[in-house]
């Protein structure tokens, strides 16, 4: 997938990929406890062993719809910060209660 500067005029392609990479690393680090629990369950419980296919299928579906996703990208909105804050609050509650959802 090539990212065109015209799709995101405020970001150069290298900066866009850099920011996406940083965001991905932060997500993995932040949710590492839950992700490790997920992999443990996929590995040990027979009813969840199909779980390893889910990320692969999700990436394939995103790749298939990449053009539509790029066309649908709009301008950033401040409400995104609220969504991030809500997800961080849910993470804190999950960590404090030891519930990995």
Read off the pLDDT of residues 21-44 as tens digits, 9 standing for 90 and up.
899 999 898 888 888 989 999 999
Q: What confidence category does residue 4 fall into, taking pLDDT thresholds of 50, 70 and 90?
A: low
Tokens of 7: 């799709």
65 SS3 class: coil
Q: What confidence category does residue 59 fall into, taking pLDDT thresholds of 50, 70 and 90?
A: very high
CA distance 8 to 17: 11
Mean pLDDT of 48-70: 92
pTM, 2 dp: 0.60
Residue with tokens 């005029």: 9
């Amino acid at each position: 997938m090539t990212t065109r500067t015209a799709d995101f005029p405020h970001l150069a392609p290298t900066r866009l990929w850099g920011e996406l990479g940083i965001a991905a690393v932060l997500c993995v680090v932040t949710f590492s406890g839950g992700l490790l629990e997920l992999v443990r369950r996929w590995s040990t419980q027979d009813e969840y062993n199909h779980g390893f296919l889910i990320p692969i299928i999700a990436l394939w579906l995103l790749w298939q719809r990449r053009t539509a996703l790029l066309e649908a990208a709009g301008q950033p909105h401040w409400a995104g910060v609220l969504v991030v804050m809500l997800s961080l609050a849910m993470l804190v509650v999950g960590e404090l209660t030891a519930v990995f959802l």
